[in-house]
Amino acid sequence: MLKMTRRCLIALASAALVSGAMAGAAQAQETIKVGILHSLSGTMAISETTLKDVMLMLVEEQNKKGGLLGKKLEAVVVDPASDWPLFAEKARQLISQDKVAAVFGCWTSVSRKSVLPVFKELNSILFYPVQYEGEESERNVFYTGAAPNQQAIPAVDYLAKEEKVERWVLAGTDYVYPRTTNKILEAYLKSKGVKSEDILINYTPFGHSDWQTIVADIKKFGSAGKKTAVVSTINGDANVPFYKELANQGIKATDIPVVAFSVGEEELAGIDAKPLVGHLAAWNYFQSVDTPENKAFIEKWRAFTKNEKRVSNDPMEAHVIGFNMWVKAVEKAGTTDPDKVIDAIVGVQVPNLTGGVSEMLPNHHVTKPVLIGEIKEDGQFETVSQTDSLVPGEAWSKYLEGSRDLIADWKTLKCGNYNTVTKKCGA
């Protein structure tokens, strides 16, 4: 019987470790990992949890089609817990440790701003699915939600034309999206001849619950004899007590209509919508849209969640658009390498759920229709206005000093803030 020397045993053990490591690496390479960065707890969970769910559905569907580049997709889910600095930590974890090919995530602009340095440093890709304030175009980010010209500006135009609104309450949660959006809206309203005294701006913290005084101020502001409306950029679970207080103080949509930019079917599913009937929301998609594409999507969504009452909403559709664009760009590039995918995705077109075809523009925004909807008793929306064609998202606002001369073009100019006057790319 042969005896093994200590040296032989060590060599065999080392070989086994190397073999195991190689097998592990090979196994890791068998999947393409997709990061999902959405709050599953905290004040934004009311809005973001469903975005995690739809991403899991999209990954499952793609795997049923055979995966991507001959490999299965693997979803990696993390919970940044509505904690903005934690978003950056979780993004770094997804990219550096989990080695994801792309990340789909964030809701608030403060969470997006938190992760931007990470995506630039590590050269990864973020698909951001929520309406936002514009004034940004990053090489590593694709903005599949609405820019202000695809939501805020059309909503104000609708109120002014159809509701004859002359006084404006700009009410928002106290962070970058509402403040910048309201800055744009204030400049836009003044360009249309609205006086400063006819604009009331108010901000509240995340999770704000005591709306009695603020709603009383809105009611008083609307009693000056001019038609008044509230333009709401209130985010998260603060919307529930806000709308309840409107009802408590007898404010109806016929008196002071509210148009919301962050209230959709998911938020309305958790409250009694009867007092909200007639109030408005501006989005690029509603669950009630009557198209074959949307009907098929809702059927798949409810089958996936095993819940016939689960609703769909605009940011979900934005993830559908962004995910399908990413898949096409990866197939076009033949790799998940971020640099090649970023180059390949501009010009990619995919169907949206309203019956049109959305395109990724050189400014990393997409083309989308704009819909205005009235809230119904069942928490759904009746579309009262829709653009005839898809509207290209604009990264920079023509109504702000310092922005009106800027354009974003990552295809030809390779710049997110090119100044058309100085002919230079900004910092």
Query: pLDDT for 42-53, tens place per residue?
Result: 989 989 999 999
Each residue's pLDDT tens digit, 77-90 = 999 999 999 999 99
Alpha-carbon dihedral angle through residues 312, 315, 316, 321, given to the nearest 10 degrees? 130
Each residue's pLDDT tens digit, 330-341 = 999 999 999 999
What would the mean pLDDT of 248-258 be, rounded to a whole number? Answer: 94
Give percent of the chain with pLDDT exceeding 90: 86
Each residue's pLDDT tens digit, 165-223 = 999 999 999 999 999 999 999 999 999 999 999 999 999 999 999 999 999 999 999 99
- Return the pLDDT at 267: 83
Each residue's pLDDT tens digit, 130-179 = 999 999 999 999 999 999 999 999 999 999 999 999 999 999 999 999 99
Do the beta carbons of residue 92 and residue 99 sit within 8 Å?
A: no
Nearest of 74, 113, 52, 142 to residue 345 by alpha carbon:
142
Write the CB contacts of 277 (distance below 8 Å, at least 6 apart in sequence): 253, 374, 375, 376, 377
- Return the pLDDT at 26: 38
Q: What span, in angstroms and rounded, lies between the C-alpha atoms of 120 and 15? A: 39
Q: Where are the domains of the chain?
A: 31-146+291-367, 149-290+371-386
Q: Given pLDDT bands bounded at 50, 70 and 90, which one contains residue 237?
A: confident
| Same fold across 31-146+291-367 and 149-290+371-386 | yes
Q: What span, in angstroms and rounded, lies between the C-alpha atoms of 32 and 136? A: 29
The alpha helices in 174-291, defined as continuous H runs, are 176-191, 212-221, 239-248, 265-268
The average confidence (pLDDT) of the chain is 92
Q: What span, in angstroms and rounded, lies between the C-alpha atoms of 254 and 239? A: 19
Token pair belonging to 231: 């333009």
- Return the pLDDT at 24: 40
How far from the centroid of its chain's Cα atoms is residue 47's Cα? 10
Q: Is the pLDDT of residue 22 over 70?
A: no
What would the mean pLDDT of 387-393 be, rounded to a whole number? Answer: 96
CATH class of the structural domain 31-146+291-367? alpha beta
Q: Is the pLDDT of residue 13 over 70?
A: no
Q: What span, in angstroms and rounded, lies between the C-alpha atoms of 100 and 368? A: 28
Q: For the domain 149-290+371-386, what is the CATH superfamily, name and number?
A: Response regulator (3.40.50.2300)
Report the DSSP pairing between strands 391-392 and 406-409: unpaired
- Return the pLDDT at 4: 44
* Stronger pLDDT, 43 or 257, i.e. the higher one: 257
Each residue's pLDDT tens digit, 270-284 = 778 888 899 999 999
One-letter amino acid at 126 equals L
- Return the pLDDT at 427: 66
